[in-house]
Amino acid sequence: GENVEQHPSTLSVQEGDSAVIKCTYSDSASNYFPWYKQELGKRPQLIIDIRSNVGEKKDQRIAVTLNKTAKHFSLHITETQPEDSAVYFCAARGVGGNTPLVFGKGTRLSVIA
């Protein structure tokens, strides 16, 4: 089955700097890669997703890149703000039948004002 590795587990950046979180996956047939943000005491919320027919996707300060050959995808947050502080989870979904998302272990991002 699919296995997702996420790095780093914690990340601290100065306000205004960029943050990058990386994930690798094992199933080369996986074709859907969402990212979730979970603020303290709240539910995980989808912030951006990418499908395997696209190499990059942007939404304001957030972007995701996908390298299918290397089987890794990354979340980029530019001009970070204190409200970006949260735990971020990547996930991947393999191909075939009843395949749920497989989540990474999460990255705790702290943006220091």
User: Binding segment for another protein among 17-25, 43-51, 61-69, 77-85 (CB under 8 A)?
Assistant: 43-51
For residue 103, state whether it binds another protein (rule: CB under 8 A).
yes
Which pairing describes strands 62-67 and 56-59: parallel, antiparallel, or unpaired? antiparallel
**Residues 2, 32, 71, 110: which binds another protein (CB under 8 A)?**
32
Residue 19's identity, in one-letter code, is A
For residue 54, state whether it binds another protein (rule: CB under 8 A).
no
For residue 42, state whether it binds another protein (rule: CB under 8 A).
yes
Question: How far apart, in whole angstroms, are the C-alpha atoms of residue 73 and residue 91?
Answer: 10
Which residue from 96, 65, 84, 67 is spatially nearest to 19, judged by alpha carbons? 84
For residue 100, state whether it binds another protein (rule: CB under 8 A).
yes
User: Binding segment for another protein among 11-19, 21-29, 57-65, 103-111 (CB under 8 A)?
Assistant: 103-111
Question: How far apart, in whole angstroms, are the C-alpha atoms of residue 27 and residue 48?
Answer: 21
